[in-house]
Amino acid sequence: MKIVLAVVHGLSKFLNSISSVALIAIMVLTTADVVLRIFKKPIVGTYEIVGLLGAVVIGFGIPLTSWIRGHIFVDFIIEKFPEGRKDVVNIFTRLLGIGLFFIAGWNLIIVGMDLYVTGEVSLTRQLPFYPIAYGLAVSCFVQCLVLICDIIKIFGGEFGGES
């Protein structure tokens, strides 16, 4: 089981690295565009590139954020439960999350295939949309693995009872 947890954690870190690079690219591109506008030489397509990279930043950052539990917890009700019931609630919410992210990933693959077949691209830079859809689908499936690892940790007593 430790190997599975390590692999999923590694995948999450890899996706987060891509997310970090995309965020840096957004900052550099936006700054360069603002500076170049002073000289009447804006970067064409900045808005659409930032939009696509924004999807990468958010989507690829979700698995590691979930792994390290960096998101907001609203668990004031669950804290009143005994340990056994906390685990049941945590497993139930993880199963719901797995279902949600699996459906999202599956639909992103379908959308990506449609975008590929139709050849849909961005208006200004003619950047294809399908790689972003496929990448976000992969991120959704990695998130499913992270949630499965959460369930494994709950059964192993490593989860700590947080929701």
Backbone angles phi, psi at 132, to 5 degrees: -65, -45
pLDDT at 161 over 90: no
Q: What is the structure's pLDDT at 11?
A: 98
Share of the chain above pLDDT 70, in %: 98
First-to-last alpha carbon distance for the chain, in angstroms, is 22
Whether 74 has a pLDDT exceeding 90, the answer reads no
- Checking if the pLDDT of 19 tops 90, the result is yes
**Cα separations in angstroms, 161 against 59, 100, 116:** 26, 22, 43
Residues 64, 41: Cα–Cα separation, whole Å: 38
Query: What are the pLDDT digits (tens) for 98-151?
Result: 999 999 999 999 999 999 999 999 999 999 999 999 999 999 999 999 999 999
Neighbour count for residue 65 (Cβ, 10 Å): 16
In the structure, what pLDDT confidence band is assigned to residue 160 with cuts at 50, 70 and 90?
A: low
Q: Which pairs count as long-range contacts for 126-133, CB under 8 Å and 24+ apart, including other chains?
A: 127/45, 127/48, 127/49, 127/52, 129/52, 132/52, 132/55, 132/56, 133/108, 133/109
